[in-house]
Structure 1
């Protein structure tokens, strides 16, 4: 076997199967330790916020507009998995006043380091055709998959981080973005703060234009969008907290990771939508419909890997009176403290869904559903 042929065989046979196994191990670790990892992130976030506040009080730093976490691929080859964190004004990377620190993501990349060791061991069977530089190049390519868990964690933790007192003390631009990506390269928004005034009717008209790839990662909080026709929109990771959508339709929409805290969602139709990881904490969903909607917790493909597993749906404290979940995939959803009077779970998938123990005798579940849900006493910690 020639070197190029051997290397190709190694990449097609050894690399994928070992990588998927490593990502499954990381996914299990992340899900089991997410809250602890989030607390560690919050400590590092507090540090940079204190630094920004100190600089602003000394008149050295303008209003904060961007917090950017950057993976440094070359550092990975040196055994370092620290992300560069830069706090910048509205000029972003052109901010002349440096404010940098780092975030330790070794919890994720140690799985990649172990994987590289496995590749090196497997390479011995290739009679010297697969060498250390080859392993290092493969490692840099595969790093993106492990990086996605860092993105996932920071997105999850930022909801709590935004409530920290020290973050409230930071002098901020009306629009602020937290991004995670590669240094001076592609990055994605994981949190937006946008206090600029928005006109509900203008936003309604814009949404009803149904432009492609324009509505994700936005802040639509506090708007009146009742009775809007928003079917088929991609609204992933947008924030609709405290908004009013009464009698609106959002059928066949991409609502992955959306936030609906305290939103008025009476009689809204979410039918056939993708709702993975959506957060309806405290929302009024009386008479809403989630017929055939899909939002299971975990990996999309249990035997493969496309992206990190989704967080479970949250209906904590929501009013779900007469809400229709017929045929919906709600595996891993959290219904703690929810009002479930008359809610319809016919044919719904509820494995590992969390229900309050005190409504066990009144919520209508079939025998299979009741056997596979988790009954929990008291409020969610």
Structure 2
């Protein structure tokens, strides 16, 4: 790198040579890891979900929690900063975020995020060639930006697991609204619907037009 390169030019060069589209090469590793550890990954996810629902059912028996209306799978940027792929699962009654009885468990999506963390560690070594124009703070910002791509992969995995989640003993035991939703997104932020309980009225309408 030229010593005359300014900060903006250095960042552009760094991004083009060491970051741009590199995440796509991680897809092969993620897919391979999932194939090799499929049973363990899926069981771990189901166990976390089952533990959440069992906790909610216990709180309902104690009278401190109402019917569950939403289960939220939260992407935690603070955990990404610590090279941890922790997701927070929360069960809320009709009070949503104002639900005063916390019901939460953690799940680790390491099989998806491990390549990201490794790449960022490698970038820490590469940055030395840029004469201090690329800092660890810059790499942290890159990691947060790139992490969204891996989060989207995690959401697709969660969607694929919904049929198994709905069969968990804890979910069946837990008291829940007829309109329960499973959602995924950043903590207390925008989210995507993983599952919404079908409305009987919608079923009848759809059937009539079939």
Same fold (TM > 0.5): yes
CA contact (8 A) 1:72 1:182 kept: yes
CA RMSD of superposed structures (Å): 1.9
How many residues were matched structurally? 206
Give the corresponding residue for 2:112. 108
Paired residues of 2:180 and 2:196 also in contact (CA < 8 A): yes
Secondary structure of the residue that 1:179 maps to in structure 2?
Answer: strand
User: How many Å apart are 1:22 and its aligned residue?
Assistant: 2.2
Provide the C-alpha distance between the structure 1 equivalents of 2:117 and 2:203, rounded to a whole number of angstroms.
49
| Partner in structure 1 of residue 190 of structure 2 | 186
Instruction: Report what 2:47 is aligned to.
Output: 43
Determine if contact 2:51/2:170 at 8 Å carries over to the other structure. no
Q: CA deviation at 1:74?
A: 2.0
| Whole-Å separation in 2 of the counterparts to 1:115 and 1:30 | 19
User: Which 4+ stretches in 1 moved above 6 angstroms?
Assistant: none
Q: Between Structure 1 and Structure 2, which shows a larger proportion of helix residues?
A: 2
| Correspondence for 1:198 among 190, 197, 201 | 201
Flag the 1:146–1:187 CA change in 2: closer, same or farther, 3 A.
Answer: same
Structure 1 unaligned residues grouped into runs of 5+: 205-222, 227-381
Per-residue deviation, 1:107: 2.2
Matched, 1:156 2:156: no
CA offset digits 1:12-69 (Å, max 9, x no partner) = 2210143222233223333444443111111111111110111111111100011101
Please identify which structure carries the higher strand content. Answer: 2
> Whose Rg is larger?
1
- Secondary structure of the corresponding residue to residue 200 of structure 2: coil
TM-score (norm 1): 0.51
The aligned counterpart of 1:225 is: 209
Aligned counterparts of 2:75 and 2:141: Cα–Cα separation in 1: 16
Name the structure 2 match of 1:55. Answer: 59
Would the alpha carbon gap of residues 12 and 191 (structure 1) be closer, same or farther in structure 2, given more than 3 Å must change?
same
Q: 1:3 to 1:109 in 2, by over 3 A?
A: same
Check if 1:10 corresponds to 2:17: no
Match status 1:175 vs 2:179 = yes
Q: Which consecutive residues of structure 2, in runs of 5 or more, have no partner in the other structure?
A: none
**TM-score calculated relative to the size of structure 2:** 0.89
SS at match of 1:16: coil
8 Å contact 2:91–2:103 — kept in the other structure? yes
Q: Distance in 2 between matches of 1:95 and 1:54?
A: 16
The answer for the alignment partner of 1:23 in structure 2 is: 27
